[in-house]
Every structure is written in structure tokens, then in C-alpha cells.
Amino acid sequence: MIQGILTASAAILSLSILLTLFRVAKGPSMPDRVLALDMMGINLISLTAVVSLIQDTTAYLEVALLLGILAFIGTVAFSKFIEKGVVIERRRD
Amino acid sequence: MFTALHLAIIAPFLAAVFVPLLYKKIPSIHTGWFVLIVPAILFVYFLQYIPTTSEEGAVSAVFPWIPSLGIHFRAYVDGLGLLFTLLITGIGALVVLYSIYYLSKKRESLHTFYTFLLMFMGAMLGVVLSDNMIVLYLFWEVTSVSSFLLISYWYEREKSLYGALKSMLITVLGGFSMLVGFVLLYSITGTFSIQETIAATSETASHNLFLPAMLAILLGAFTKSAQFPFHIWLPDAMEAPTPVSAYLHSATMVKAGIYLIARLTPVFAVSGEWLWIVAGFGITTLFWGSFSAVRQTDLKGILAYSTVSQLGMIISMLGVGAAALHFDGANGNNVFIGATTAALFHLFNHATFKGSLFMMVGIVDHETGTRDIRNLGGLMTIMPITFTIAAIGSFSMAGLPPFNGFLSKELFFTSMVNITEFQQFNMDTIGMVFPAVAWIASVFTFIYSMIVVFKTFTGPLQKEKLDTKPHEAPFGMLLAPIVLVSLVIVIGFFPNVLSYTIIAPAMASILSPLLEQGQQFEVDIYFWHGFGTPLKMTIGVVIAGILLYLGMKKWKGVYRLFPEKLSFNNLYDQTLDKGEVLSQKIMGAHMNGFIRNYLVYIFAFIAAFLLITMFYKGAFTIDVSDTAPITIYESILFLVLFAAVGVMMFTTSRLTMIIGLGVAGYTVAMFFVIFRAPDLALTQLIIETVSVALFLLCFYHLPQIAKNLEPIRFKAVNFIISAAVGITVTLIGISAGSSRMFESISGFFKDYSYKEAGGRNMVNVILVDFRGFDTMLEILVLGIAAAGIFTMIRLRLAGRDEL
């Protein structure tokens, strides 16, 4: 029963990754793509969690946390890039 | 053991070391006087060997050089070696004496001249006295190099450099070929020793490599001895100072090839090919050299072609002499032995008269400022001694009595007539050309000999065409040629002083298989040898020669029938030029500087090579018995990955490409999750993020124009190659997975990572414990990369604006 639900949710999450990928590919604007990428990151976190439940292991919890941080940093960096044209600003002098 | 004999061979090299020192420290005395001591002492030293070689045979001494490879410096003195040794040291001494007066102490850099000359002398001694083929080859190449240096002695002249390069290329080509021949001989007999090879002749002749070895060695001998069609370097080598021409290009170096042929006659002469090739090339060279000599206007040019021609004559006689080995014994019925006698006798004679002629030309050049026969004439009364030298030398060269050239020419005709009676290898039918060509060539020899004497010394004196006021040369300069022409006359009248001292022992080395123990060849050279065919031929030569010489203006047009374009010189020049152009074209065609082309070569080669290998080895296997079932997640992730790669391939925006790459990287991280590799997944995620950020950084700095791509054009070649590489790698991957040969060793790590290393994380234990060494070096790689990036960013030597 539990296994079935887990499998189903993993499948649904994978499907949603596929759909967000469509958004990444299609665009049409850069923010669309960045948002889609961010969403894909969160979906990946969920998928990692579900997979670790299916495989009955705690080894992937770090992966989930790391994905969270990276998705956040990545999105912020992209946003700043789109906004200002640079990611890391030089020291003002 | 290192003996006095070895010391004698390398003495010139040792002396050469001190030449620059003497030149610098004692500038008041001409350096040549010090150098003169070396060949003089060596000549006297080697004279002592005459009784030994004529009575007891050979003397040898071994000095192990590279014993593990069978290379010993075995000095071997027998009749043949001694004949050459005496020529080298004797004429060497005379040439040094002559050069003392010829080369100015003030103007010329004498130290380089005498260093090169001594180098050459030592190398030449090494060539003729080495029994080991590799040592012989070593000295052989030193003669090529020192000859190159001597020809280009006046290196500021364009023509000297041209001549030096030409002789270097041709003789080194032959030298390499000869080395190949020696190695082939070694692979037949298993020894580098010439004497041991001669002893093993019976098994050599039937071997498959016999003919290739013979041809390779003959190529070496022919290039060195300026045989047709490799004679072209010798006339251009005349840009060297005259003592060099006299020494190297008439008496010694060009005879190295003759020495080699004579030395290896017992090895190869059992085959008919040897007889035909050696005699055939010799006779062709004889004719072509004498024919070409007549058209020259430069005295040294005439002498150069004359040398070519005379060398051809000696070689043809050596080839014909090989016929003797097809008969048994050294008795009087074996008439072909006479050809070898004639070859050696003429070898000696040629060295004497050609050396004196070159020195004569040097004197004329020195005292008048020109060597062109069109500007010369009427010098007979002004330079009587030089004229006498020229007359004796030239008449001897033409084969007139009572000089030594007459005797050797008679012997030459005798051997050429005799060879037509030889019953093997078609000699009795086609062999008729030999005496005929020999006769015609002798007529031409007569003509150019007359040109040398009469165009230079008779006729009107053309004072306005000469740079200096002509006068007789100083006595010191005349001394060396006088000694040589005295030899010409003495040997002409008393030829038998040489017979048993020098020629018979030398014949014993060449035709060794014919001799029984303690037997000796009978050498009798008579001045009057009966009114036979040879004498009639000589009379014919003289009559025809005089007529042709007097009527030369009428038939000189013959030479214009051969256009310059068809000459071998032109062929050589074109080969060099066209070769350069062609190689540039070939290089330019495939090394065109486009990385995409190089990648095409690399990938096409990888795919083709791997596919062909796998196919021929029958290595393609597909075995699904050991594969795991495919789950739904894997299929979906595969679709994502596939889609991401597809987007990257077909997009027209670089930014989309970068994002696609990021997606692919994250998907791979998810694969790591599914395949239970948490450490890999963690690392992959971070690295992917960083590298995507770096790509974005690069993207940001791209020029605006390059940020968006044209739609990628379809290129069939690229498609085929990329598809081929993909298919190849996939097939190999499947095949490798399907044919597992051994159990994996991962069981060990599973069992022992906690027990031995105290860690539960197996991957990390492997990384830092079981195989920590790799990790250390990968840390180093990262360090180097970081340092490299830092350097590239900070170090801008060229300045930014220039980029």
C-alpha cells in the first residue's frame, strides 16, 4: 500500500519535472526559465525524499538539503544577473 | 686492447684538437707546418707494414667498444687497407705541404681548415682500416661531415654552400643506405666483422636478404664514389679550396666507395647481379664523365668530371674482376684476375696524376686569378715547371706512354676485351658493349686531357683577361706536384716496384677465395706487352683523339643537343624545390589551423580504429542475462536527459544551451540518487551549479554579436562522425558489460572498510584510505587549476590592448 503510494508520487513528481523542463525549454522570457529551474529544484528535493523513502535509506537527506540551498542560491544569482547584469559586484571605489 | 695501430688511426683526431691552440699561440709560423708532421709520421709508420702484409697477410688488433652489441673497434691491416692507407697519409702529407703555400696565413682562418682536414684524414684512415662495419660506417659519416665542412670552407660564398649541401645530401643518403645494407648483412650472418662475413660467404649467397643488402651497400658506394647518376655532387664540390679538391675529391674520399666495393667483393661477387651492376654502372660513369668533361670550361670542372670518369673506370674493372671468382684457382688461365690488378694499379696511378693535376690547376688559379680555359693560354714559357707537371699528369691521364696511365689503360683494355669471353651471365653476348664503350670513353678522355694542357699553356697569352700578372709559382708550392709527377714517371718506367709490395697483397684481400694457403698472385706489368688488341685500341684512341681535338669546333654543337632541363643537376634542383613545395602543400592541406578539422581527424580515427578492431576480433556481444530491470523513474529521467540534450543540440541561444547543460547535470545527479550513490549525487550537484555559473560568466563576457547563434547547419561529415563515435562507444559499452570476465573486487571493500579502516562510508574510505594516493594527486590537479586561473587572470605580459 505505502509502496504503491510512494511509487505513484515519485512518478507524479517526475512528470512535473518533465513539464517544468518544457517551460525551461520554451521560455519565452528569461525569468520564466529561471522560475522553472527553481521549481525543478524543489521538485528534485521532493523526488529525492520520496526515493530515499522507497529505498528505505537516510543517505540522501543531505542531497535534499543541498538541493534546497543550491536552488535558492542559483535562483538568487540568476535574478541578480537578470537585474544587474553581474552576479558578484566589484568593490566600489 | 688499445694498440699503437688504434692510436695511429685516431692520431689525426687527437692532433686536430691542438690545431686551434697552435694557431692562436704561435701565429708567426704557418699552422700547416705543425699539421704536416702528422701525416708524415703516419706515412712512415704505415710503410713498415708493407713487409708484413706482403709476406704474412693481415695484422689486426681489437679494442672492444660496445662489446654487448658486438661492436668492436677492430683495426685490420691487409694489402687493400694498406694501399689506401698509404695513399691517404702520403698524399695527405703532400696536400698539407701544398696548402701551406696555397692558403694565406693572413687572410684565411687556417685553424678551421686544418682541423677539418685532420678530421677527414682520421676518418678516412678509420674507414679503410676498420674491420667492424658499424665502426666503418661511423668513420664513413665523419668523412661526409668533414667533407661538407671543407667544401663550405669559404662559407660566405653562395656556391660553396650549395655544393656543400648537395654533396652532404647525396653522400649521407648513400651512407644511410649502406648502414641498412650492413644491418641486413648482420641479420644474415650475425656478425658485424667483415672478415667473418667473408668467411661465411657460402651461406650468405643463398639468403633472401642477400640481394637487398647488396643493393643497399652498392648505393652507398656509388654515391660516395660519384657514380652515375650520383656523380652530380662532385663537380659542385669544386668550390672547395684546391688542396681539398686534390685530396678529398680526387685521391681519397671518392675512393671510399671503391674501397667498399673492393672490400666486399668476396662477399657479393658470387652473384651475377654484382658483376653486371658494378661493371655496368662503372662503364656508364666512365663514358658519361669523360663525355661531360669535354664541354667544361672551368679547369676544375674538367678535372671533376675526369675524376668521375676515372672512378667509373676503376669500378668497372672491379666489377669485371669479380668474374675471376667463378673460376677456380689463381693460375694463369684465370684471365679475369687481370682486371682486379688493373683496378688497383689504376687506383694508385689515378691518385698520383689527378692529385698533381689539381695542384697544377690550383697554381694556375693562384698565379693568374682565373681557372677558365677561355681566358687562359700561352703560359708555357711563363710557367715552365707548372707546364711540365700539367703535361706529364695529363698525358698519363690520357693513357700515353711512357707514363703510368698508359700501363693501367692497357690493362684496362685487356680486361675489357677478356670479359667478352666470359661464358656466364650473358657476358659473351651483351658483353661486347664493354670494350666498345671503354674505347669511346678513352677517346673523350684523350680529348679533355689535351684540353687541360694545350688550352691552358699554348696559344696566345690573353693578358687583359687575367687579374694578375702571371709568373711562376714559388718552389714550395711546386714541390708536392713535382713529387707526384715523379711518381707518375717512376711507376711508368718501373711498375713492378708496386707489384709485390702493394698490389699483390691488395689483390689477395679482394680475391681471397681464390688463394690457397701460402699462395700469391702473380703480378707482372710490362711496358711492352706485345702487339695485341689493347695496343691497337690505344693507337686508335690517340688517332681518333687527335682528329677530334683538332676538329672540336665542328662537333661541339653535339652538347647543345642535351638541354639543361634534362640534366641530372636539374633533376636534383627540381627534386629539392618540388619536394619542398609538395611537403608544404601536404602540410598546409591537413594542418590548416582549424581545431574543428583536427577534431574530425581525431574522432574519425577513433571511431574507425575501434570499430574495425572490434569487428575483426569479433568482440561485439550482447548478453542481457545479467542486466537489472528498468524502473519507471529511470525511464522518466532518461526522457528528461534526452530532452535536455536535444534542447542543447537544436537551440539557437547560448543561454538556453547553458541551462540545458545544467538540467542534464542535475538529471545525472538524480541518476546517482536512484543508483544509490549519495556522495556522487552531492558532489555532482555542487559541481554542476558551479560550472553552470562559470558558463554564465563566460557567456556574459562574450561579444554581443556572438551571443546568439545562427541555426546550426547540418553537416553530413560531422553527423556521420558523431553518430559513428556514439554508436562505437555504446556498442563497446554494451559489449564490455556483456562479457564480464572476473568477479569485481568490491567485495573486499564492503567487508573490510570498517574492520580495517574504521569507516562506514565505503566511498570515503576508498577515497582517503584504500586509495588515498589518487585523491592526493587530484587535490594537486585542483590546486594547479586554481593557480593557473589566477595566473591567467593576473598575468598580462602582452598588455590588454594588444589582444
Taking the C-alpha atoms of residue B15 and residue B122, their distance in angstroms, rounded to an integer, is 10
Q: CB A17 to CB B660 under 8 A?
A: no
- Which chain B residues in 578-637 lie under 8 Å from chain A, judged by CB atoms? 632-633, 636-637
Please list every residue in chain A whose beta carbon sits closer than 8 Å to the beta carbon of residue B656: 25, 27, 33
pLDDT in tens, B185-197: 898 888 888 888 8
pLDDT on residue B296: 84
Q: Report yes or no: B48 and B8 within 8 Å, Cβ to Cβ.
A: no
Give the per-residue pLDDT at B425.
63
Cβ pairs bridging A and B (under 8 Å):
86
Average pLDDT over residues B614-643: 82
3-class DSSP assignment, residue B72: strand
Per-residue pLDDT for B726 more than 90? yes
The pLDDT of B109-135, averaged and rounded, is: 91
B566 pLDDT tier (thresholds 50, 70, 90): low
Residue B803's pLDDT is 44
Assess whether pLDDT exceeds 60 at residue B410: yes
Residues of chain A positioned with their CB less than 8 A from the CB of B659:
24, 33, 37
pLDDT digits (tens, 9 = 90+) for B768-796: 988 999 999 999 999 999 999 999 888 87
Give the pLDDT confidence of B233-291 residue by residue, as tens digits. 988 888 888 899 888 887 788 899 999 999 988 888 888 788 888 888 998 899 988 88
- What angle is formed at CA B568 by the lines to CA B566 and CA B569, rounded to 5 degrees? 105
Which of A18, A40, A66 has the CB atom closest to B686's CB atom? A66
Q: Does A8 touch chain B (CB under 8 A)?
A: no
CA B50 remoteness from chain centre: 34
pLDDT in tens, B45-54: 998 888 888 7
Chain A residue with minimal CA distance to B686? A70
Interface test mutation site (partner B, options A23, A66, A73, A76, max chain B beta carbons within 10 A): A66
Tell me B743's DSSP state: -
Burial label, B497 (beta-carbon count in 10 A; 0-12, 13-18, 19+)? exposed
Which of B85-94, B400-409, B670-679 holds the top average pLDDT? Answer: B85-94
pLDDT at B172: 93
The residue-averaged pLDDT of B726-741 equals 86
| Amino acid occupying residue B719 | F
Mean pLDDT of all residues in B30-37: 88
Whether B562 has a pLDDT exceeding 80, the answer reads: no
Q: Is the confidence at residue B397, as pLDDT, over 70?
A: yes
Average pLDDT of the segment spanning B356-365: 89
Peptide bond into B402 cis (omega under 30): yes
DSSP β-bridge partners for residue B77: B59
Domains and CATH numbers, chain A: 1-84 (1.10.287)
B63: enclosing H helix or E strand: strand B59-66
Specify whether the CB–CB gap between B695 and B661 falls below 8 A: yes
Residues of B in contact with A51 (CB under 8 A): 633, 673-674
Chain A hits for B689, Cβ within 8 Å: 70, 73-74
Task: Pick the residue from chain B with its C-alpha nearest to A66.
Answer: B682
The pLDDT value recorded for residue B578 is 92
Q: Which residues of B touch A36 (CB under 8 A)?
A: none
Closest-CA residue of B relative to A63 is B682
Q: What is the pLDDT of residue B188?
A: 87
pLDDT of residue B800 exceeding 70, the answer is no
Range with the poorest average pLDDT among A60-64, B90-94, B203-207? B203-207
Cell numbers for B588: 598546409
Helix (H) or strand (E) holding B796: none
> For chain B, what is the mean pLDDT?
85
pLDDT band at B761 (very low <50, low <70, confident <90, very high): confident
User: Whole-angstrom Cα distance, residue B431 to residue B428?
Assistant: 5
Q: What is the mean pLDDT of residues B84-92?
A: 91
Distance from CA of A11 to the nearest CA of B (A): 7
pLDDT of residue B424: 66
Q: What is the ipTM of this complex?
A: 0.75
Contact across the interface for B663 and A40, Cβ inside 8 Å: yes
pLDDT exceeds cutoff 90 at B141: yes
Q: What percent of chain B has pLDDT over 90?
A: 22
In this prediction, residue B168 carries a pLDDT of: 93
Cα gap B213→B602, rounded to integer Å = 39
* pLDDT score recorded for residue B518: 61
- Using an 8 Å Cβ cutoff, are B247 and B35 in contact? no
B231 touches B289 (CB < 8 A): yes
Mean pLDDT (chain A, rounded): 83
Model-wide pTM > 0.95: no
> pLDDT per residue over B474-501, tens digit each?
888 888 889 888 888 888 888 877 777 7
CB burial string B199-225: b at 16+ within 10 A, e below: bbbeebbeeebbeebbbbbbbbbbbbb
Among the partner-chain residues A15, A63, A73, the one whose CB lies closest to the CB of B673 is A63
Q: Give how far Cα B802 sits from Cα of B702, B796, B797, B798, B799, Å.
A: 18, 10, 10, 7, 6
Interface of A with B in 13-52 (CB under 8 A): 14-15, 17-18, 21, 24-25, 27, 30, 33, 37, 40-41, 44, 47-48, 51-52
**Mean pLDDT (whole number) for B419-432:** 69
Average pLDDT for B173-186: 92
Determine how many CB atoms are found less than 10 A away from the CB of residue B641: 19
The per-residue pLDDT for range B275-326, each reduced to its tens digit, is 888 888 998 899 988 888 888 888 888 999 999 999 999 998 888 888 777 7
